[in-house]
């Protein structure tokens, strides 16, 4: 019997299509899980970028169930999968309708949602039924459409979001929402690889630039062009033009080799260790803390990384001043605190402003799981990053004056 389109796949797609970069962002939660898992891809076609990205993300112990799009033919999709070779064919199963699919750890809508808010809500609710506890649903919607599906996904993100990624290099741009409807165990974070984030724009294999740097360089070049048009005989345009490269370089975001040793705690930022001390801070609970404070000069990489694997359970900003980050009074500067629940207890990362730094970016909402070494934010210009560890559970491996590399240098070890 032929299934109705609404039963066959609940994804209602408009003219927007998912390109390679958006597809990689859609399957990010599948790609970062290192344990054997089951995934469900809904609304796929034989030539879709989402299907290609999902297949590319599979590991030997994984399985992928594929539900064809309303316009696709299941037999043709099976032939496409078989043509990928035995390895893929053994792990990918094509079903005729969503009703034949089983629950999965990762569920992905292959095409962007369109239509009314009610239709989007029905789609999200329908797909959420196929999630196992603590699992993630990844869906997308066009950025520049107000109301309807986009508004509904924004609302879902506020209520349940793991995170939201903006993909500008898609036609048109889309926002990818990773939604979790039931709590995930902090222990799962230890089995994750750092998530792919479109905010880290690749320049070469080993060097990326944060999207803030792309925007800043674009503004500088725009000012240069405007100055050249306004005053063609003046050399004034050279100032913003020459500033574009160093401004972009400030936001450089290199790839890092994160130590696999489970006992290792890595630096949250590049820079020089200012202090390693034991102290009490009632904001984070009773007991003594080991705090490693690192100063970031304007020449250091300012992207912040998770020192350990854990679940974000709290985030707050404390008001204060803007003292030079190398001075002791910087303790009272404006700071953002990300609190992680880990297998070894509570860990806190403090992103502190400095004399020049006035802007903190934090991209890990409460409920998100962070892998060790995963990018989660940055501080613009000179600043300081502190890592708080349970003092009775961690042994420091660095001292004042040492240089550390974010995501790579071991600053402490769990006892």
Residues with a catalytic annotation lie at: 383
Residues 6+ apart with CB under 8 A from 147: 117
Please state the separation of Cα 53 from the chain's center in Å: 17
- CA-nearest of 105, 98, 136, 85 to 38 is 105
In angstroms, rounded to a whole number, what is the distance separating the alpha carbons of residues 303 and 361?
A: 9
DSSP result, 13-50? --S----HHHHHHHTHHHHTB-S--EEEEEEE-TT-HH
CB contact at 8 A, 108 and 138: yes
- Using N-to-C axis directions, what is the helix angle for 148-160 and 117-128, rounded to 10°? 40
Exposure class string for 392-405: b at 16+ Cβ within 10 A, else e: ebbebbbeeebebb
In angstroms, rounded to a whole number, what is the distance separating the alpha carbons of residues 11 and 199?
A: 26
């Amino acid at each position: 019997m032929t299934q109705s389109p609404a039963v066959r796949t609940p994804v209602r797609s408009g003219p927007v299509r998912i390109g390679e970069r958006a597809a990689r962002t859609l399957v990010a939660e599948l790609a970062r899980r290192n344990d054997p898992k089951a995934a469900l891809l809904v609304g796929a076609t034989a030539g879709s970028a989402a299907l290609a990205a999902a297949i590319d993300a599979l590991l030997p112990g994984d399985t992928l169930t594929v539900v064809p799009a309303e316009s696709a033919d299941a037999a043709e999709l099976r032939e496409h999968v078989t043509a990928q070779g035995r390895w893929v064919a053994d792990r990918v199963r094509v079903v005729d309708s969503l009703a034949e699919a089983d629950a999965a750890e990762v569920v992905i809508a292959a095409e962007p949602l369109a239509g009314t808010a009610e239709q989007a809500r029905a789609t999200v609710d329908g797909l959420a039924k196929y999630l196992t506890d603590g699992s993630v649903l990844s869906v997308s919607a066009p950025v520049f459409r107000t109301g309807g599906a986009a508004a509904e996904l924004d609302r879902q993100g506020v209520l349940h979001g793991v995170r939201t990624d903006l993909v500008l290099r898609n036609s048109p741009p889309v926002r990818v929402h990773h939604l979790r409807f039931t709590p995930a165990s902090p222990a799962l974070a230890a089995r994750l690889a750092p998530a792919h984030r479109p905010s880290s724009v690749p320049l070469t294999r080993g060097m990326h630039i944060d999207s803030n740097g792309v925007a800043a360089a674009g503004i500088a070049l725009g000012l240069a062009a405007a100055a050249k048009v306004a005053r063609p005989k003046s050399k004034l345009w050279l100032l913003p033009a020459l500033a574009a490269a160093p401004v972009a370089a400030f936001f450089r975001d290199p790839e890092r080799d994160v130590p696999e040793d489970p006992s290792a705690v890595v630096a949250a930022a590049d820079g020089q260790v200012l202090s390693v001390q034991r102290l009490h801070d009632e904001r984070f609970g009773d007991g003594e803390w080991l705090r490693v404070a690192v100063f970031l000069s304007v020449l250091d990489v300012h992207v912040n990384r998770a020192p350990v694997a854990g679940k974000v359970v709290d985030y707050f900003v404390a008001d204060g001043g803007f003292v030079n980050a190398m001075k002791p009074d910087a303790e009272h500067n404006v700071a953002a605190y990300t609190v992680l629940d880990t297998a070894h207890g509570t860990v806190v990362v403090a992103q502190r402003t400095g004399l020049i730094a006035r802007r903190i970016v934090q991209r890990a909402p409460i409920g998100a799981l962070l892998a060790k070494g995963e990018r989660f934010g940055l501080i613009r210009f000179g600043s300081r990053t502190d890592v708080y560890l349970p003092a009775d559970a961690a042994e420091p491996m660095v001292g004042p004056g040492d240089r550390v590399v974010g995501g790579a240098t071991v600053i402490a070890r769990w006892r």
